[in-house]
Structure 1
């Protein structure tokens, strides 16, 4: 009992701390995840922010962690209800977007332009690239890795 009270007193004096844990769930629509801290008996940390702040924006940079993977979580003012992901060990996907564009859109547009590429020849325009399937496969891989 005394140990718990001492720990609570010390924790209240620390403005922020970082704890390790395992990702239980990821909510992509809200850009949050739930984390089970590594400390035995510690309660789940719910709605841990994947973005710096919850401003309703889908812009910026987000690393989407793999469910079941280790993460480091920062507790602001030592409040388990005000947390953010500091680092991830395994990434399922990522988002990189400005106010006007995203890496996912840029990649998709680039591969679509390559797929539609024609070259003027002496007998007229060429057909689609002979390796169009390769570009389509790259586009599919890009959709899995990049989120807009």
Structure 2
């Protein structure tokens, strides 16, 4: 069977779905569970997943819609009781976690975290060390940086924490 014929048959099957994608308004969002409540104008649907795939092994990706914004909701395996948000009109929060690494963005800024280390903490530590710089001098000129090991330790943390390309 040609690829064109397979594509035509696949599109025909989509048209025969028992439950179609539908627009709805976001009533509430549960960021802990990764779900929301939506209303299509007639019915309210609870526990609508904000990601079609959430794995138990620490991997997850969520786009959190703004309350009162509009979304497109689709069924999982054509079940009206298992729904997920497929499209968002407005995003309030972005949360991506892959094992021990997390990137989260919202109106307050962004969080970049690997295990127990955050970019904010690294920057804070670096600035503290810069502010506490001390120099050993001999007749007024600098001959060595006393806290060079601390700068090197922070540099290694950055190398371990951030990708270079």
Task: Classify the TM-score, shorter chain.
Answer: 0.5 to 0.7
Between 1 and 2, higher relative CO (CA 8 Å, sep ≥ 6) is seen in 1
* Residue 115 (structure 1) aligned with residue 124 (structure 2): yes
RMSD: 2.8
How many residue pairs end up in the alignment? Answer: 112
- Closer, same or farther: CA 29–106 of 1 in aligned 2, 3 Å: closer
**CA distance change for structure 1 residues 36 and 70 in 2, over 3 Å: closer, same or farther?**
same
Q: How far apart are residue 13 of structure 1 and its match?
A: 3.8
- Deviation digits for residues 32-59 of structure 1 (CA, Å, limit 9, x no counterpart): 1111115xx3x11221111224555663
Shift of the 86–55 alpha-carbon distance from structure 1 to 2, 3 Å rule, reads same
In the alignment, the residues of structure 2 paired with residue 57 and residue 93 of structure 1 have an alpha-carbon distance, to the nearest angstrom, of 22
* Cα distance in structure 2, aligned partners of 1:37 and 1:21: 4
Q: What is the rounded CA distance, in whole Å, between the counterparts of 2:57 and 2:74 in structure 1?
A: 21
Change (3 A) 1:57 1:17: farther
C-alpha contact (below 8 Å) 1:23/1:65 kept by paired residues: yes
Give unmatched runs, 5+ long, in structure 2.
1-14, 104-110, 137-144, 148-165
Kindly indicate whether the alpha-carbon contact (under 8 Å) linking 1:35 and 1:44 is maintained by their aligned counterparts in 2: yes
For residues 124 and 146 of structure 2, the distance between their equivalents in structure 1, rounded to whole angstroms, comes to 14
| TM superposition score normalised by structure 2 | 0.56
Runs of 4+ more than 4 Å apart: 54-58, 123-126
Q: Which has the larger radius of gyration?
A: 2
Q: 1:106 aligns with which of 103, 113, 116?
A: 113
- Mapped to 2, the partners of 1:60 and 1:77 lie a distance apart of 20
1:69 match:
69
Equivalence map 1:11-26=2 (5 Å): 13-26=16-29
Counting only pairs closer than 5 Å after superposition, residues 36-55 of structure 1 correspond to structure 2 as 36-38=39-41, 41=42, 43-53=43-53, 55=55
Structure 1 unaligned blocks of 5 or more: 1-11, 127-148
With normalisation by structure 1, the TM-score equals 0.62
